[in-house]
A and B are shown apart, each in its own frame.
Chain A
Amino acid sequence: MPTDKAAQAQPILEIKLGYLRAYAPQLALSVLDVPPRDEGVAGAKVAIGDNNTTGRFLGQEFKLEVSEVKPNADVIAAFNDMALKGARYILADISATQLLSVADFARDKGILIFNVGATDDRLREEDCRANIFHTAPTRTMLADGLAQYLIWKQWRRWVLVYGSHARDKQFADALRRAATRFGGEIVAEKEFTDTGTARRTDTGVVQIQRQMPVFTQEFPDHDVLLVADESEVFGTYVPFRTWIPRPVAGTSGLIPSAWHPASEQWGGTQIQNRFAKANGRRMLSKDMAAWTAARIIGEAATRTHSADPEVLAAFVRAEDFSIAAFRGQKLTFRKWNWQLRQPVYLGDGRSVVSTSPQEGFLHQFSELDTLGIDQPETRCVLK
């Protein structure tokens, strides 16, 4: 049996993780929404600390190396560099295009990738890969989590305002799909075109207060106004400024997310305290996706007493693998595309309003599979 003394006597097994990140400073419509400099990385670091506390008893030591590239830049060199330094587990917070540019190379090198940032459904569908595990949820999972709540509230008539960038349109697509799936009706839609305005101007609010009611004036009656603005062009300006008084949901108002900085449910207080103490700020969704990914690697190493990616991957891919991650139930992977099943938080920025799946949305295998594209519809062929 491993004892403290035994652990000290055995050679230390080193497990190297890399964190590859596309980063450039971003603006937001509200300064409160500007992403922290260490978003995601901070979550991975807390998990490394947790893994090392456990590793102390087993003679395992986890290390994390962070590498940053520009958004849309070539990531191959940075990825190669991490591989050369011995990282066999890479947490990736890069775009779908960047991720796909290194996926096959990683597979040939026996490197496992954990996608902690990209919500693109295509990475789990037509562009899925056998060596990429996704701890970040997809846009369809987030949209379905929101839609279930609106249906539960019997707010069924929606209007949709979406941005003019590709990712805004992808989230709008996910919302339209959710409407069809759960019985919502989108009674009207409108694009808000990005004409290139500064996100912060001294007297900007004066104009916005006049413009937004006019923009939403022509909509037929509805229960909820849905917003798809991942690009931070107009979404924050919609709540309280609509022509008729209606709740707003989507990328502003009631927002679906993988985690909420105020969640204290399901033992959440403990990880929130630990995170806040280490980083001096609250834990965000990307931090949780990264924490979960690094914990999955830690859990696999603990249970297998190994640092070998093949051994760890076999453990994670096994039928009975699950991870505890403060989400109220064990989290498991969808075997057909390696997406982590997880509940969706619905928050208003200050507090958690609800979590989906909602009561009554049933499924023959897992209620979490009522969120996002399910196995019968998948276009993923793992390779």
Chain B
Amino acid sequence: MFRRLTFLSAGFVVAASIGSPASAYMVYVSNEKDNTVSVVDSTTKEVVRTIDVGQRPRGITISHDGKFIYLCASDDDTIEIIDTATYGIVGSLPSGPDPELFVLSPDGKTLYVANEDDNLVTVIDLESKKVRAEVPVGVEPEGMGISPDGKSMVNTSETTNMAHFIDTETNEITHNVLVDSRPRFAEFKPDNSEVWVSAEIGGTVSVIDNASREVKHKITFEIPGLRSEAIQPVGVRITADGTKAYVALGPANRVAVVNAKTYEVEKYVLVGQRVWQLAFTPDQKTIISTNGVSNDITFIDVATDEAIQSVTVGALPWGVVVSPN
């Protein structure tokens, strides 16, 4: 109840300041339970369209020109390509079974996919839509991050509990770094210096030095009144200037705001239930969380770290990506 009231009052503030609207972006949310993608206007914060997609949509990303959405339809064992002009499904990619998360290379040419059932990372050439390589990794590969310089990518394996560093030239593993239990997500710092890896059951985020490939710091979370078991870090996003990080804390229903230089947790933002994934708007003014159990997404103001508004989407929202333009 308290949370709703907070949102209402925050909503009035936004309404009052509509004079110089930020440019509108489209926010695409994959809804795991009802096989849809919700399209939300970032300015009006309204659902403008619901796209029917394949079964159990989870990982979602978008081409750098904003023309195509790539979507893991996990139970259909495929990656669907959605045309953002028509919202029609215009093709698919050979993902291998049960794709869950993936990452697009900085040059936009390659998609790296985690195949949980086969302990593989599948490397797909987007132009030819063919599999270029398969890299054997640990048990239950999930998190996928790629360095901004495109030279290395990191996959996390949820039961092996490692971050596997893969050289994108050779498609071979160069380093295996042990992290805490059930690593879910890997995010590079924009300057290539660090990789942040969340551990859902371990309850931590490991900061791995990208030069030495060793864990240099472990971020822990503590929320008064919450059992430590309920704090389960999943999605991680770091601002383009490398100063601040946001960590989605799952059933703790909060997003942690972390100082990316000192690693201190500065704030916990209450959003919705079971918060998993996060995405910035391209202007970096807003970050959006998917709150699975409450069927909504929350817009957080990056300047103030206040929750601005929650928007109801489909059933069990899982992943989120924002159009680049």
- Which residues of B pack against A, CB within 8 Å? 98, 116-117, 119, 138-140, 157-162, 164, 172-178, 181-182, 200-203, 212-214, 227, 229-230, 232
CB pair A3–B174 under 8 Å, yes or no, is: yes
Most chain-B Cβ atoms within 10 A of its Cβ — which of A1, A303, A366?
A1
**B116 cross-chain contacts in A, Cβ below 8 A:** 270
CB pair B160–A54 under 8 Å, yes or no, is: yes
CB pair B175–A1 under 8 Å, yes or no, is: yes
**B140 cross-chain contacts in A, Cβ below 8 A:** 267, 270
CB pair A3–B176 under 8 Å, yes or no, is: yes
At the interface, yes or no: A65 with Cβ under 8 Å from chain B? no
**B160 cross-chain contacts in A, Cβ below 8 A:** 50, 53-54, 57, 302
Q: In the complex, how many residue pairs between chain A and chain B have their CB atoms under 8 Å apart?
A: 78
CB pair B201–A273 under 8 Å, yes or no, is: no
**Chain A residue at minimal CB-CB distance from B117:** A273
**B119 cross-chain contacts in A, Cβ below 8 A:** 53
Besides A1-B214, A57-B160, A322-B202, 4 new A-B residue pairs in contact (Cβ under 8 A), listed by A number: A57-B173, A58-B176, A324-B158, A329-B229
Given contacts A1-B213, A270-B116, contact A330 B202 (CB under 8 A): yes
- Which residues of A pack against B, CB within 8 Å? 1-4, 7, 50, 53-54, 57-58, 267, 270, 273-274, 277, 295, 299, 302-303, 322-324, 329-330, 366-367
**Assembly CA distance A3 to B170 (angstroms):** 15
**A267 cross-chain contacts in B, Cβ below 8 A:** 140, 158, 182
CB pair B173–A3 under 8 Å, yes or no, is: yes
**A3 cross-chain contacts in B, Cβ below 8 A:** 173-176
**Assembly CA distance A170 to B119 (angstroms):** 43
Q: Can you give 22 contacting A-B residue pairs, CB < 8 Å?
A: A1-B213, A3-B173, A4-B172, A4-B176, A50-B159, A53-B119, A53-B139, A54-B159, A57-B162, A267-B140, A267-B158, A270-B116, A270-B117, A270-B140, A270-B158, A274-B117, A299-B161, A302-B161, A302-B178, A322-B181, A330-B202, A367-B227
Rounded to whole Å, the gap between the CB of A268 and the closest CB of chain B is 12
CB pair A330–B174 under 8 Å, yes or no, is: no
**Chain A residue at minimal CB-CB distance from B232:** A329
CB pair A4–B201 under 8 Å, yes or no, is: no
**B164 cross-chain contacts in A, Cβ below 8 A:** 57
**B162 cross-chain contacts in A, Cβ below 8 A:** 54, 57
**Chain A residue at minimal CB-CB distance from B100:** A270
CB pair B203–A330 under 8 Å, yes or no, is: yes
**Assembly CA distance A57 to B176 (angstroms):** 7
**Assembly CA distance A267 to B74 (angstroms):** 13
**Assembly CA distance A273 to B97 (angstroms):** 11
Given contacts A53-B119, A270-B116, A322-B201, contact A4 B174 (CB under 8 A): yes
**A295 cross-chain contacts in B, Cβ below 8 A:** 159
Instruction: State which of B117, B173, B182 has its C-beta within 8 Å of the C-beta of A324.
Output: B182
CB pair B201–A324 under 8 Å, yes or no, is: yes
Rounded to whole Å, the gap between the CB of B94 and the closest CB of chain A is 19
